[in-house]
């Protein structure tokens, strides 16, 4: 199937899934805890993942899938074509606020990101990128607003627990920025970096579905998105992640390298 046909197909899936979420979110939700009361899954997370899996399996029966809610067989390899799905990124926001959540899909071929989509459901922002084709925002070519900016002149965002517990003395790094924000959705924070609202976003524990779509979009936008030590994102296991503009990103990676070295002494 040609690139444009795949992009159009996925756009239709995402819009249909989002319509279902918006129509059903005012109805009583079934909510279950996963690892803790802060880590929840709703019936709409599960329904959305099942729908996306069904569409992929119908149109691309040979492709494999990794999904957050495990609503079907999970691929344990990145060989061949693999779709990585987050049906509702920011479930706590979805449940607690009714906004600030996203649908995300990444398509990988032999471990390389081919296509990524992040859709902010309530803001109606559809951001996608295809390998070598740049980024589109609501169907229009997108360029980031600036190439770089000093850390002290911009906001950064990150994992709340990591910051509150001052792991790796991260508050010393945070103090170098103009301010710090916590948004509760990895995908949306990628978009906020993309459009220059943030200079950096970091989290010590991101799952493959948290980063797969954003990694393709970041690469096509010319932004760095890696693990804390600068190595490639792990798309099969949970790992750290940091995305940012050059100065802020490089400062973060250097700072964490020094702090990690001190912690080993």
Q: pLDDT of 35-62, one tens digit each?
A: 888 788 989 999 999 999 999 999 999 9
pLDDT at 19 over 90: yes
State the average pLDDT over residues 86-98.
95
What residues form DSSP beta bridges with 142?
135
**CATH code for the part of the protein at 151-263:** 3.40.190.80
- Cα 176 to chain centroid distance, Å, stands at 25
Query: Residue ranges per domain, the chain?
Result: 3-142, 151-263
Backbone φ and ψ of 87, nearest 5°: -65, -40
**Tokens 């999904």, residue?**
67
Q: pLDDT of 143-192, one tens digit each?
A: 999 999 999 999 999 999 999 999 999 999 999 999 999 999 999 999 99
pTM: 0.95
Count Cα atoms within 13 angstroms, Cβ side, for 17. 31
Whether 210 has a binding-site annotation, put simply, is yes
Say how far apart CA 153 and CA 232 lie, in whole Å.
28
> Which of 117, 130, 129, 114 shows the shortest CA–CA distance to 87?
117
Q: pLDDT of 187-233, one tens digit each?
A: 999 999 999 999 999 999 999 999 999 999 999 999 999 999 999 99
Whether 234 has a binding-site annotation, put simply, is no
Say how far apart CA 102 and CA 108 lie, in whole Å.
19
**CATH code for the part of the protein at 3-142:** 3.30.540.10
**Tokens 């792991």, residue?**
167
Whether 88 has a binding-site annotation, put simply, is yes
- Cα 72 to chain centroid distance, Å, stands at 21
Q: pLDDT of 106-116, one tens digit each?
A: 999 999 999 99
Looking at residue 36, what is its pLDDT?
A: 82
Q: How confident is the model at residue 263 (pLDDT cuts 50, 70, 90)?
A: low
The DSSP bridge pattern shows strands 179-181 and 155-158 to be: parallel
Tell me the three state secondary structure of residue 222: coil
Say how far apart CA 176 and CA 181 lie, in whole Å.
14
Sign of the four-CA dihedral 104, 109, 111, 112: negative
Whether 89 has a binding-site annotation, put simply, is yes
pLDDT at 80 over 60: yes
pLDDT at 74 over 60: yes
Burial of 74 (0-12, 13-18, 19+ CB in 10 A): exposed
Exposure pattern of 22-47 as b/e (b: 16+ CB <10 Å)?
eeebeeeeeeeeeeeeeebbbebbbb
| DSSP code at position 124 | T
């Amino acid at each position: 199937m040609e690139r444009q046909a795949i992009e159009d197909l996925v756009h239709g899936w995402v819009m249909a899934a989002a319509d279902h979420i918006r129509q059903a979110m005012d109805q009583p939700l079934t909510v279950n805890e996963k690892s803790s009361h802060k880590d929840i899954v709703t019936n709409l997370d599960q329904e959305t993942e099942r729908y996306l899996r069904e569409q992929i399996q119908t149109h691309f029966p040979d492709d494999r899938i990794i999904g957050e809610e495990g609503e079907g067989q999970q691929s344990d390899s990145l060989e061949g074509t693999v779709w990585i799905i987050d049906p509702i990124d920011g479930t706590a926001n979805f449940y607690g606020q009714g906004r600030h959540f996203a649908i995300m899909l990444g398509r990988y071929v032999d471990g390389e990101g081919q296509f990524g989509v992040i859709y902010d459901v309530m803001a109606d922002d559809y951001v996608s990128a295809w390998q070598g084709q740049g980024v589109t925002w609501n169907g229009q070519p997108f360029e980031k607003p600036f190439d770089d900016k000093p850390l002290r002149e911009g906001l950064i965002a990150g994992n709340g627990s990591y910051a509150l517990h001052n792991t790796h003395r991260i508050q010393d790094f945070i103090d170098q920025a103009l301010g710090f924000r916590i948004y509760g959705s990895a995908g949306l924070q990628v978009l906020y970096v993309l459009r220059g609202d943030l200079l950096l976003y970091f989290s010590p524990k991101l799952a493959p579905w948290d980063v797969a779509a954003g990694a393709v979009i970041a690469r096509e936008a010319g932004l760095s998105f890696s693990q804390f030590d600068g190595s490639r994102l792990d798309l099969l296991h949970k790992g750290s992640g940091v995305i940012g503009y050059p100065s802020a990103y490089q400062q973060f990676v250097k700072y964490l390298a020094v702090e990690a070295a001190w912690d080993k002494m």
